[in-house]
């Protein structure tokens, strides 16, 4: 692409003009700001140490060299320490000729070598997936697609947290108050049924604490000594001792949850290459804890609990095994990391987990480093912000979450109502309507979440997400459908959809559109380097917006010159291909008609 050519020629210019070898990393090329003439802007300040001249003189010397030696550069303008370069319009047309019929021209083939492991979802089997899980799953899946588009071999994994005190809370509540209720007898999805009992445990647990406090017990002590929590902790001990009755109930209820999760994943279009279970990996974690004890990396307290002292690194002491011998999250995360290293020897281990776990992953890497695992440097916590609602944060224990299944149903209904109000489904069969509503509803949800920088907290508003105007998924989907409609109309009019020649000149709007299309490979690369699907999302929106302006201002099928009409039709198709490819990286389908 032109950026690589310009970079190489600027390096050459520095050598030829001032007899200095320079690194391409010093070449800072940016798109020229709209208020100035030019396509690319070079920052010349890094080269002053070679030229020993003013920024203006240095910029002019490089500009003159490029004009003389690079056919693609037709003019330049110097603004203080910045060199604005204008690219020959012929370059943009040659770019169009080369790539207009290539659907995935920015996608690199997967290369051989070590894989990248991306862990996402990581649900607990004590509740259904909710809005927070949706952001996690959509980020993890889109990031995997983007890394693959950058040539990485990606292994998508899920770690199901299927053991622990929270699981035992649901189990105990079901035993106490469930009366043998099952998904079949209740009519509830399995994950919803188990989540119901997790909420019920919290209700009775709080009531018991309140009663103990009323009778004079300190609240903090009451939280530890309430009979319900003590029974749940005892159940966890029995589970780790492989008590057959406890394990039987655990397997039964987890099975219900897995079936429920699978339904939701299918609706979201989410998949994994491998699923790990904490009930398996925590055992390897315990082995690592024993290894650390033997090497004096960890220590045991008088009550029998095992810790890692990180105070010399400015942190605190980290619990690895409880006094009763049961494991904690850190135990299984140690085991899982080691297992994946042994299994895949990955180039990188990426954990897509919310920012409330920043400290946990910082500690995890440090503990592994103390165990001599130097590969812990290749672990990355992709920390993302919380999803909040207009009424505040969600709380699973109190049942105030936005359930993923309920949200998907709501998105479908909203897509249906909005689409029918706009009259966009005339001549559709009922089956086609259902497919379209599913596509729009899911596309709106995914785009609304993925367009936000992962590091930022976000406020989710379903009604705002389904809008056929503005920075939304449906607006982009409708743009793609509009482009496909152009081709259907061209076919009806028997207009040629083949490039029959070069237009004598490109319109400014056409050059502008081609520049955005030209940026697609760069944006895909940047999204992979920054682990940010938001860069793809906002790029596709800018492309859709630019195309719609072109469509409104420029006759395409109404153009009398068939050569120009064919070019404009194919330019529209190029934009449609890139929209489809970009949205595909986000896991979003686009319709051919709506």
Q: pLDDT tens across 422-464, in order? A: 777 778 889 999 999 999 999 999 999 999 999 999 888 777 8
450 touches 134 (CB < 8 A): no
Mean pLDDT of 568-592: 96
pLDDT band at 394 (very low <50, low <70, confident <90, very high): very low
The whole-angstrom separation of Cα 558 and Cα 490 is 10
The whole-angstrom separation of Cα 516 and Cα 575 is 9
Q: Is 518 helix (H, G, I), strand (E, B) or coil?
A: helix
Mean pLDDT of 168-175: 96
H or E, element range at 438: helix 430-450
The class that CATH gives domain 120-388 is alpha beta
Between 6 and 325, name the one with better pLDDT. Answer: 6
The whole-angstrom separation of Cα 345 and Cα 363 is 21
First to last CA, the chain: 35
125 touches 257 (CB < 8 A): yes
Q: What is the pLDDT of residues 403-414, one digit of tens each?
A: 899 889 988 998
pLDDT given for residue 398 in this prediction = 46
| pLDDT for 400 beyond 70 | no
| pLDDT for 392 beyond 70 | no
Mean pLDDT of 125-137: 92
481 touches 515 (CB < 8 A): no
pLDDT given for residue 399 in this prediction = 47
Burial status of residue 227 (CB atoms within 10 A of its CB: 0-12, 13-18, 19 or more): exposed
| pLDDT for 303 beyond 80 | yes
Mean pLDDT of 138-150: 98
Q: What is the 3-state secondary structure (H, E, C) of 334-397?
A: HHHHHHHHHHHCCCEEEEEEEHHHHHHHHHHHHHHHHCCCHHHHHEEEEEECCEEECCECCCCC
The whole-angstrom separation of Cα 468 and Cα 418 is 9
pLDDT given for residue 401 in this prediction = 67
Mean pLDDT of 324-339: 90
Q: Which two tokens stand for residue 506?
A: 């490109």
Mean pLDDT of 306-319: 95
| pLDDT for 74 beyond 80 | yes
H or E, element range at 217: none
pLDDT band at 470 (very low <50, low <70, confident <90, very high): confident
pTM for this model (two decimals):
0.90
Mean pLDDT, the chain, integer: 92
The set of residues, in sequence order, having a beta carbon less than 8 Å from that of 494 and lying 6+ positions away, is none
Mean pLDDT of 242-256: 97
Q: What is the pLDDT of residues 103-130, one digit of tens each?
A: 788 999 998 889 999 999 999 999 899 8
Spacing of C-alpha 551 from chain mean position:
31
Which range is least confidently modeled, 102-106, 285-289, 333-337? 102-106
Residue 262, CB half-sphere, CA atoms under 13 Å: how many?
Answer: 8
H or E, element range at 201: helix 190-214
Q: Kindly list the distances between the CA atom of residue 246 and the CA atoms of 148, 175, 205, 556, in Å, as whole numbers in the listed order.
A: 42, 11, 21, 69
Q: Is 289 helix (H, G, I), strand (E, B) or coil?
A: helix
The whole-angstrom separation of Cα 378 and Cα 387 is 28
| pLDDT for 390 beyond 70 | no
Q: Is 428 helix (H, G, I), strand (E, B) or coil?
A: coil
- Adjacency order of strands within the sheet including 274-277: 274-277, 154-160, 116-119, 348-354, 379-384
Q: How many residues does the chain have?
A: 594
The whole-angstrom separation of Cα 391 and Cα 76 is 54
pLDDT given for residue 391 in this prediction = 59
Between 363 and 400, name the one with better pLDDT. Answer: 363
Nearest to 254 by CA among 400, 381, 127, 398: 127
* Bridge partners of residue 40, in order along the sequence: 31, 85
Share of the chain above pLDDT 90, in %: 77
C-beta neighbour count of 417 within 10 angstroms: 12
147 touches 528 (CB < 8 A): yes
| Domain over 2-87 is classified CATH 3.30.70.1880 | no
443-463: b or e for each residue (b if 16 or more CB lie within 10 Å)? bbbbbbbbbbbbeeebebebe
Q: What is the pLDDT of residues 481-501, one digit of tens each?
A: 999 999 999 988 887 777 776
Nearest to 386 by CA among 359, 351, 355: 355
Q: Domain boundaries in the chain?
A: 2-87, 120-388, 405-585
Assigned fold of 405-585: Isoleucyl-tRNA Synthetase; Domain 1 (1.10.730)
Spacing of C-alpha 370 from chain mean position:
31
pLDDT given for residue 397 in this prediction = 44
The one-character DSSP state at 161 is: B
342-379: b or e for each residue (b if 16 or more CB lie within 10 Å)? eebebebbbbbbbbebeeebebbbbbbebbebeebebb
**Across the chain, how many H-helices and E-strands are there?**
21, 14
Between 461 and 18, name the one with better pLDDT. Answer: 18
pLDDT given for residue 281 in this prediction = 86
Mean pLDDT of 566-576: 95
């Amino acid at each position: 692409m032109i950026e690589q050519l310009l970079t190489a020629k600027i390096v050459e210019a520095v050598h030829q003009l001032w007899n200095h070898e320079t690194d391409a990393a010093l070449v800072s090329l940016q798109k020229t700001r709209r208020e100035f003439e030019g396509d690319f802007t070079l920052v010349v300040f890094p080269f002053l140490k070679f030229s020993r001249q003013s920024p203006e003189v240095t910029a002019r010397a490089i500009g003159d060299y490029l004009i003389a030696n690079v056919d693609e550069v037709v003019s330049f303008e110097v603004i203080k320490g910045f060199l604005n370069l204008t690219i020959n319009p012929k370059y943009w047309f040659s770019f169009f000729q080369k790539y207009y019929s290539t659907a995935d021209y920015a996608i690199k083939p997967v290369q051989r070598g070590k894989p990248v492991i991306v862990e996402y979802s990581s649900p607990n089997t004590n509740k259904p997936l909710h809005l927070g899980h949706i952001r996690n799953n959509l980020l993890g899946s889109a990031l995997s697609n983007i890394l693959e588009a950058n040539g990485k071999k990606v292994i998508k994994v899920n770690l199901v947290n299927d053991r622990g005190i929270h699981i035992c809370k649901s189990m105990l509540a079901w035993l106490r108050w469930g009366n043998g209720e099952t998904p079949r007898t209740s009519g509830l999805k399995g994950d919803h049924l188990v989540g119901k009992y997790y909420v019920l445990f919290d209700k009775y647990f709080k009531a018991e604490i309140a009663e103990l406090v009323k009778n004079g017990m300190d609240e903090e002590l009451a939280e530890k000594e309430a009979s319900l929590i003590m029974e749940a902790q005892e159940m966890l001990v029995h589970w780790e001792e492989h008590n057959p009755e406890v394990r039987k109930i655990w397997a039964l209820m987890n099975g219900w949850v897995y079936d429920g999760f699978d339904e939701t994943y299918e609706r979201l279009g989410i998949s994994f290459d491998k699923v790990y279970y904490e009930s398996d990996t925590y055992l390897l974690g315990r082995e690592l804890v024993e290894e650390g004890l033997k090497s004096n990396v960890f220590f045991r307290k008088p009550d029998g609990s095992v810790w890692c002292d990180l105070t010399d690194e400015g942190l605190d002491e980290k619990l690895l095994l409880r006094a009763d011998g049961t494991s904690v999250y850190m135990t299984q995360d140690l085991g899982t990391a080691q297992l994946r290293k042994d299994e895949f020897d990955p180039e990188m281990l990426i954990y897509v987990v919310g920012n409330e776990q920043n400290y946990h992953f910082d500690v995890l890497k440090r503990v592994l480093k103390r165990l001599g695992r130097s590969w812990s440097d290749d672990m990355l916590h992709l920390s993302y912000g919380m999803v909040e609602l207009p009424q505040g944060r969600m709380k699973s224990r109190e049942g105030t979450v936005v359930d993923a299944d309920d949200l998907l149903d709501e998105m479908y209904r909203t897509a249906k109502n909005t689409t029918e109000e706009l009259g966009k489904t005339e001549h559709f069969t009922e089956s086609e309507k259902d497919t379209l509503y599913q596509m729009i509803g899911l596309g709106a949800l995914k785009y609304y979440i993925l367009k936000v920088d992962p590091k930022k907290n976000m406020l989710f508003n379903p009604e705002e997400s389904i809008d056929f105007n503005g920075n939304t998924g449906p607006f982009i989907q409708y743009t793609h459908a509009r482009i496909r409609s152009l081709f259907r109309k061209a076919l009806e009019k028997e207009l040629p959809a083949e490039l029959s020649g070069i237009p004598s000149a490109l319109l400014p709007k056409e050059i502008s559109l081609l520049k955005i299309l030209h940026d697609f490979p760069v944006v895909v690369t940047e999204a992979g380097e920054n682990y940010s699907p938001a860069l793809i999302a906002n790029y596709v929106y800018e492309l859709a917006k630019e195309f719609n302006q072109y469509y409104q201002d420029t006759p395409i099928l109404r153009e009398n010159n068939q050569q120009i009409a064919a070019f404009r039709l194919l330019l529209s198709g190029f934009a449609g291909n890139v929209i489809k490819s970009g949205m595909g990286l986000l896991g979003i389908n686009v319709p051919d008609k709506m």
